[in-house]
C-alpha cells in the first residue's frame, strides 16, 4: 500500500526560496573591522544568490553538476554561494584555506573544480597555487584584495559585484533529484590524502531540520547565531542552511577570529548563540578575564570539533554563558550528538550529562564495536569504537573525476555503518561519552589510558592554559603518556605538583604520566583540533625537553 502524500523533493532550493520570502527580514551581519558591519536581509541575500546563479550559468558556463569552489571566510558572499550553487544544480565545494598548499592543490584537482570564488583577502594564499590547478577555468574575486596577484596565473578573472550586477532577480530553478550532490567537503587529511564527502540535497535538508530541533540547537528567528566555525569546516556545522530555513539571524566574523574582535562583536551585536571549537573559547576566556566584556547575551554556545574541558564549561558558567557539547565529523554533516540533559534536573544533576558528548537524535543510530567485532551493550562501561548510520551520514568517499566512490574497510563496516575512529561508552538512555580517538588511546601494560581524560584533568589546574597527552614508547609497558603543558602567562608550577594535582583529582596512580614537558602552544590542525601527530614526531626527533617524574 502506497501513501497518499505528495512526493516533493527536499532540496536546498526550497531552503533558499523559503528563507528569502518567509524570513525575508532576518539578517546576515558581516564583521568588517570598520565602525559599522555590513548588513543584508535574507530577502537581499536571496536576490543576490539568484543573480549569482544567472552569472554562473550564463557567463561562466555552469549548466550541470560542475563543482564551484569557495575559498572564503564566513561572510554574506559565502552565504549567497551556499544557496545559489546547489539550487542551480551545481555542487558547492568549500575549500579549507588553512590546509597546506599541497593538500589544497590536490583537493581542487581531485574535485575537478571549474570555478573558484575567492575572497580578495585570500589572494596571496591562492594566486601562487593556480598554475597547478588546470581544471579551474574562472576565478571570481569577492571583496577588496590585490587582483594584480592573478595576472598571468588565472585563466579568467571576474569581480563578484560586476559579475552579478544587472542580472535577473528570478530564476527558473531546475527540478533536482533530492539524492543528487549539493555540496562537498574534504576531511583535513591528517593521514594520507584528504577524503571527499559529498552531501545530497536530501541530507542537507534533513540535517538542517535537526539543527533547528529543540533537542539540538533549537534556534528561531528571535535568535542571532555567531557562526565562528568556518564555512569551509563541514558547512559551518550546517548553520547557514539551517538558519535560512528557520529565519535565524547570522553574525559572520569574516577574517576577524581573534579574541579581541570576537569579544567586541559579541558585546556590540548581542548574539544569543554561537558555535566554535574549544580553542576559540579558550582564547576568548583569556581575553575577557584580562579585560572583562559583557557576554551575557550569548546564553548558549555549541562547542564541538574536540572534547571540551569541563573546567572551560565551569568558567563560562560563571560568565552566564552555557557551553553545550556536541559531537560530529565531516562524514556526519556533522551533527551526531548533542549534550542537552534530560528535563527536570537540578544544575548538579545535569552536570554528568553536560560533560558527555551528548545524546543521539532520531536521525542518527549508534553502536559500539569491540576489538573482536562484537557489538557492546549500552551500559556506560563497555568501551568500543563508535559506528553510526543515518540519512545525513556518509556511506562512501568521493572517488575523484573518473573513479567510483570509495568504501575502504577501515572506514565502513560490511553492513554499511561509518567507523568513526572514536572510542567511548554509551549510557542506557543514549548519551555518548568519548574517551579517545582510537589512534590516540595509550595502550599501557595491556590497559587503555584515555589521553582526553588526562588532558581534561591537567587543564583543570589553575596555572595550565592547555595540555595535550600522547603515547610514547616505553620498554616496560609498551606505551606511557607524555604530558605536554602550556602554562598561563606568568605561571610557574612544578611537574611534581601537577602529578600530585592529578592524583588528588582522582586519576589512578598507574595512569599518572611520568614524562612531562612545557611547550609554547599545542599544535593545531586546520580546523583547530590538537594535532598530536606533530607532538609525537617532535618527541621522536628529540626536539622536546622531557622531564621524568616518578
Nearest CA to 161 out of 45, 36, 52 is that of: 52
Q: How are beta strands 91-94 and 181-186 bridged, if at all?
A: parallel
Nearest CA to 261 out of 31, 494, 544, 61 is that of: 31
Q: How far is 322 from 318, CA to CA, in rounded Å?
A: 9
Q: How far is 256 from 253, CA to CA, in rounded Å?
A: 5
The one catalytic residue in 331, 385, 455, 466 is 331
| Grid cell 596555572 in the structure block, residue | 463
Respond yes or no: is residue 327 known to be catalytic.
no
| Grid cell 551493550 in the structure block, residue | 377
Q: How far is 499 from 504, CA to CA, in rounded Å?
A: 9
Backbone angles phi, psi at 390, to 5 degrees: 165, 175
Helices of type H across 355-472: 451-459
Q: How far is 305 from 46, CA to CA, in rounded Å?
A: 30
C-alpha cell at 144: 577588496
The one catalytic residue in 220, 443, 447, 500 is 443
Backbone angles phi, psi at 376, to 5 degrees: -100, 155
The CA-CA-CA angle for residues 483, 426, 465, to 5°, reads: 25
Nearest CA to 139 out of 147, 79, 98, 74 is that of: 147
Say if residues 401 and 134 touch (Cβ distance below 8 Å).
Answer: no
Nearest CA to 60 out of 146, 147, 162 is that of: 162
Say if residues 368 and 382 touch (Cβ distance below 8 Å).
Answer: yes
C-alpha cell at 439: 589512534
The one catalytic residue in 17, 187, 279, 337 is 187
DSSP 3-state of 245: helix
Respond yes or no: is residue 331 known to be catalytic.
yes
Respond yes or no: is residue 34 known to be catalytic.
no
The CA-CA-CA angle for residues 243, 244, 246, to 5°, reads: 65
Say if residues 30 and 226 touch (Cβ distance below 8 Å).
Answer: no
The one catalytic residue in 173, 351, 448, 477 is 448
Q: How far is 454 from 491, CA to CA, in rounded Å?
A: 20
Q: How are beta strands 515-518 and 547-548 bridged, if at all?
A: antiparallel
Q: How far is 88 from 82, CA to CA, in rounded Å?
A: 11
- Residues with Cβ < 8 Å from 293, sequence gap 6 or more? 263, 264, 266, 267, 287
Say if residues 57 and 88 touch (Cβ distance below 8 Å).
Answer: yes
Respond yes or no: is residue 32 known to be catalytic.
no
Nearest CA to 429 out of 377, 364, 385, 378 is that of: 378
Nearest CA to 513 out of 449, 463, 465 is that of: 449
The catalytic residue positions are 187, 331, 443, 448
Amino acid at each position: 500500500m502506497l501513501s497518499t502524500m505528495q512526493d516533493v523533493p527536499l532540496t536546498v532550493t526550497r531552503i533558499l526560496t523559503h528563507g528569502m520570502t518567509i524570513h525575508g527580514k532576518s539578517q546576515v551581519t558581516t564583521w568588517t573591522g570598520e565602525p559599522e558591519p555590513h548588513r543584508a536581509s535574507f530577502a537581499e541575500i536571496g536576490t543576490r544568490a539568484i543573480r549569482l546563479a544567472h552569472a554562473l550559468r550564463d557567463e561562466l558556463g555552469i549548466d550541470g553538476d560542475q563543482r564551484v569552489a569557495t575559498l572564503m571566510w564566513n561572510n554574506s558572499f559565502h552565504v549567497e554561494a551556499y544557496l545559489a550553487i546547489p539550487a542551480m544544480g551545481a555542487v558547492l565545494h568549500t575549500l579549507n584555506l588553512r590546509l597546506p598548499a599541497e593538500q589544497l592543490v590536490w583537493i581542487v584537482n581531485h574535485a575537478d573544480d571549474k570555478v573558484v570564488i575567492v575572497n580578495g583577502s585570500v589572494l596571496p594564499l591562492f594566486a601562487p597555487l593556480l598554475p597547478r590547478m588546470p581544471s579551474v577555468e574562472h576565478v571570481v574575486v569577492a571583496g577588496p584584495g590585490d587582483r594584480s596577484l592573478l595576472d598571468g596565473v588565472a585563466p579568467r578573472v571576474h569581480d563578484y559585484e560586476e559579475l552579478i550586477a544587472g542580472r535577473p532577480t528570478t530564476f527558473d530553478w531546475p527540478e533536482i533529484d533530492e539524492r543528487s550532490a549539493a555540496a562537498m567537503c574534504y576531511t583535513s587529511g591528517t593521514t594520507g590524502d584528504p577524503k571527499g564527502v559529498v552531501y545530497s540535497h536530501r541530507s542537507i535538508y534533513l540535517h538542517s531540520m535537526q539543527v533547528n530541533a529543540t533537542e539540538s540547537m533549537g534556534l528561531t528567528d528571535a535568535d542571532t547565531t555567531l557562526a565562528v566555525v568556518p564555512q569551509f569546516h563541514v558547512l559551518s556545522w550546517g548553520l547557514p542552511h539551517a538558519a535560512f530555513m528557520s529565519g535565524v539571524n547570522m553574525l559572520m566574523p569574516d577574517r576577524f577570529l581573534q579574541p579581541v574582535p570576537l569579544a567586541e562583536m559579541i558585546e556590540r551585536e548581542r548574539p544569543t548563540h554561537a558555535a566554535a571549537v574549544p580553542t576559540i573559547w579558550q582564547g576568548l576566556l583569556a581575553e575577557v578575564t584580562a579585560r572583562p566584556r559583557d557576554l551575557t547575551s550569548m546564553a548558549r554556545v555549541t562547542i564541538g570539533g574536540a572534547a571540551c574541558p569541563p573546567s572551560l564549561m565551569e568558567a563560562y558558567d560563571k560568565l552566564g554563558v552555557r557551553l553545550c557539547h556536541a559531537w560530529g565529523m565531516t562524514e556526519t554533516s556533522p551533527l551526531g550528538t548533542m549534550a542537552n540533559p534530560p528535563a527536570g534536573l537540578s544544575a548538579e544533576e545535569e552536570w554528568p550529562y553536560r560533560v558527555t558528548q551528548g545524546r543521539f537524535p532520531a536521525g542518527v543510530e549508534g553502536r559500539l564495536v569491540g576489538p573482536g567485532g562484537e557489538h557492546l551493550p549500552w551500559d556506560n562501561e563497555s568501551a568500543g569504537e563508535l559506528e553510526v548510520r543515518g540519512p545525513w551520514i556518509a556511506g562512501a568517499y568521493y572517488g575523484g573525476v573518473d573513479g567510483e566512490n570509495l568504501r575502504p574497510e577501515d572506514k565502513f563496516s560490511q553492513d554499511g555503518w561509518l567507523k568513526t575512529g572514536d572510542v567511548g561508552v554509551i549510557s542506557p538512555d543514549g548519551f555518548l561519552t568519548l574517551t579517545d580517538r582510537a589512534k590516540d588511546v595509550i595502550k599501557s601494560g595491556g590497559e587503555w589510558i584515555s589521553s582526553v581524560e588526562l588532558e581534561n584533568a591537567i587543564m583543570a589546574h589553575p596555572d595550565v592554559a592547555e595540555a595535550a597527552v600522547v603515547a610514547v614508547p616505553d620498554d616496560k609497558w609498551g606505551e606511557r603518556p607524555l604530558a605536554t603543558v602550556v602554562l598561563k602567562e606568568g605561571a610557574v608550577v612544578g611537574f611534581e605538583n601537577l602529578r600530585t594535582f592529578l592524583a588528588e583529582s582522582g586519576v589512578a596512580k598507574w595512569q599518572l604520566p611520568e614524562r612531562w614537558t612545557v611547550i609554547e602552544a599545542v599544535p593545531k590542525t586546520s580546523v583547530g583540533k590538537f594535532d598530536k601527530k606533530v607532538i609525537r614526531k617532535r618527541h621522536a626527533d628529540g626536539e622536546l625537553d622531557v622531564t621524568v617524574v616518578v
